[in-house]
Amino acid sequence: MKSHTKHLTFNVPARMGFVRITDEVAEEVRASRVQEGLCLVNAMHITASVFINDDEPGLHEDYMRWLEQLAPFDPSPEAYHHNRTGEDNGDAHHKRQIMGREVVVAVTDGRLDLGPWEQIFYGEFDGRRNKRVLVKIIGE
Amino acid sequence: MKSHTKHLTFNVPARMGFVRITDEVAEEVRASRVQEGLCLVNAMHITASVFINDDEPGLHEDYMRWLEQLAPFDPSPEAYHHNRTGEDNGDAHHKRQIMGREVVVAVTDGRLDLGPWEQIFYGEFDGRRNKRVLVKIIGE
Amino acid sequence: MKSHTKHLTFNVPARMGFVRITDEVAEEVRASRVQEGLCLVNAMHITASVFINDDEPGLHEDYMRWLEQLAPFDPSPEAYHHNRTGEDNGDAHHKRQIMGREVVVAVTDGRLDLGPWEQIFYGEFDGRRNKRVLVKIIGE
């Protein structure tokens, strides 16, 4: 069995933003030389997501507006008890649960086995600093 | 290490619908001859889900009503900027994020290691055409 | 390839509650003797979750309040058709979809490859009885 581990770093200049990372993940699959296996991609931070959806700017605007409705940014400790700790990112911990922590993608014939419109994204909900994404590939 | 890959195709006659696929996935586990491993099942389309929950029609009605509240169908480009592209399925991309893209199930003693009520479902949010689900099993 | 399977049991005394299980999962990784691989942790019940987020009581209060807004407890069969079956836990099946069924964590150098604040939780939405969590580790 082969395995390959890579930690990628992202710094999103806004509080919320989505970054397409399909190419970076595909590069790690190539580096792993795994032909058949599984590829895990997960946010290592708890106010961020990795998810798969469409690379379409209008959809990304929709997601941001929708997440803001479901869990609005509000730094007050009344809105989010989490903010009693001195943090202001209670909302980000909620947005991340909607969008998910991780994706697992099949590796087939040495490549990510994605549908025609599937793109992998890093989702940031409390940005403006370095945050890490883990890519782990196992297989043969 | 063994691996096994299968693409299943589903065509749900309504816009939204859930199809139980546990038996189809179990058949692929048998075909893989994997005794101990992991089984990934994911939608290859970005307006569909694979999820695990109860095989109970009342619950499925509840899910559909709830998803319609959280992300109502609305073809207008004001409701969903994604619909500016000419699509009318902005809602489906949101519903899919709630229900998730994939499940990973343990394979133990050559079988899906599911709890007593766990059933695997394909969740369709923009149906009436062929769409694919990937099943990937790795192990030994 | 090595593999290791463990079913953990939890009994949460309230209807809703979160239990940190990182140490229990780490113990299974040690027992597996896997150095490089993947660790799946999933609820085997369909009214429970396994998720990764912060070990912070204020955040957990926020999650419970938020989930209660998104899918309020209501035993009536009008609120949830699922409750026509005689169950009163329709809400729990919805809360679990928000928080997710499972996490997959990389195993690197024989340890869970978690970010600094990542903690694994069992999320209960219909407690007061024994329920199981599956831990499956594969790798080498």
Residue A30: CB atoms within 10 A of its CB come to 13
Min Cα distance C136 → chain B (Å) is 6
pLDDT band at A93 (very low <50, low <70, confident <90, very high): very high
Residue A63: CB atoms within 10 A of its CB come to 27
Distance CA C71, CA C53 (A): 20
**Four-point Cα dihedral C109, C112, C118, C119, nearest 10:** -150
Could you give the 3-state DSSP secondary structure of residue C101?
A: coil
The verdict on B96 touching A (C-beta cutoff 8 Å) is yes
- Residues of chain B in contact with residue A115, where contact means CB-CB under 8 angstroms, are 43-46, 132, 134
Min Cα distance C93 → chain A (Å) is 15
Rounded to an integer, the average pLDDT of A97-108 is 98
Min Cα distance A1 → chain B (Å) is 7
Min Cα distance A60 → chain C (Å) is 20
Contact A100/A50 with Cβ under 8 angstroms?
A: yes
The verdict on B51 touching C (C-beta cutoff 8 Å) is yes
CA-based angle C24:C29:C31, to the nearest 5? Answer: 95
Q: How far is CA C68 from the centre of its chain?
A: 17
pLDDT band at A43 (very low <50, low <70, confident <90, very high): very high
Q: Please, where are the H alpha helices in chain B?
A: 22-32, 57-70, 90-99
Kindly state the greatest CA–CA separation across chain B. 52
pLDDT at A59 (0 to 100): 98
pLDDT band at B134 (very low <50, low <70, confident <90, very high): very high
- Residues of chain C in contact with residue A48, where contact means CB-CB under 8 angstroms, are none
pTM above 0.90, yes or no: yes
Strands (E), chain A: 2-10, 17-20, 37-43, 48-53, 102-108, 111-112, 119-124, 131-139
Nearest to A5 by CA among A20, A25, A35: A25
- Could you give the angle at which helices A90-99 and C57-70 cross, rounded to 10 degrees? 50
Nearest 5°: phi and psi at A70? -70, -30
Find the CB nearest B38 among C44, C94, C138.
C138
Token digits for C43?
């609820």
Write the pLDDT tens digit of every residue in A4-35: 999 999 999 999 999 999 999 999 999 999 99
For chain B, the chains sharing at least 3 beta-carbon pairs closer than 8 angstroms are A, C
- Under an 8 A CB cutoff, do A138 and C37 touch? yes
Min Cα distance A61 → chain C (Å) is 21
- Residues of chain C in contact with residue A81, where contact means CB-CB under 8 angstroms, are 57-59, 61-62
Count CB pairs under 8 A between chains A and C: 94
Could you give the 3-state DSSP secondary structure of residue B7?
A: strand
Q: Which residue on chain C is closest to B61 by alpha carbon? A: C81
Q: Which residues are C139's β-sheet partners? A: C2, C37
pLDDT (tens place) for every residue of chain C, 140 residues total: 999 999 999 999 999 999 999 999 999 999 999 999 999 999 999 999 999 999 999 999 999 999 999 999 999 999 999 999 999 999 999 999 999 999 999 999 999 999 999 999 999 999 999 999 999 999 99
Tokens 């609120």 -> residue: C79
- Under an 8 A CB cutoff, do B136 and A98 touch? no
User: B59: phi > 0 → left, psi -120 to 50 → alpha, else beta; which?
Assistant: alpha
The verdict on C63 touching A (C-beta cutoff 8 Å) is yes
Find the CB nearest A40 among C57, C63, C106.
C106
Q: Which residue on chain B is closest to A56 by alpha carbon? A: B82
The verdict on B98 touching C (C-beta cutoff 8 Å) is yes
- Under an 8 A CB cutoff, do B90 and A138 touch? no
- Under an 8 A CB cutoff, do A38 and B42 touch? no
Write the pLDDT tens digit of every residue in A47-58: 999 999 999 999
Long-range contacts of C13-16 (CB under 8 A, 24+ apart): C13/C127, C13/C128, C14/C124, C14/C127, C14/C128, C15/C73, C15/C92, C15/C124, C15/C125, C15/C126, C15/C127, C15/C128, C16/C64, C16/C67, C16/C95, C16/C124, C16/C125, C16/C127
- Under an 8 A CB cutoff, do A52 and B46 touch? yes
DSSP symbols for C12-39 = -SSSSEEEE-HHHHHHHHHHHT-SSEEE
pLDDT at A3 (0 to 100): 98
- Under an 8 A CB cutoff, do B106 and C82 touch? no
DSSP symbols for A83-119 = GGGT-S-HHHHHHHHHH-SEEEEEEETTEE---TT-E
Please, which residues have CB within 8 angstroms of residue A7's CB and are 6 or more apart in sequence?
Answer: A44, A132, A133, A134, A135
Q: How far is CA A73 from the centre of its chain?
A: 19
Rounded to an integer, the average pLDDT of A80-88 is 97
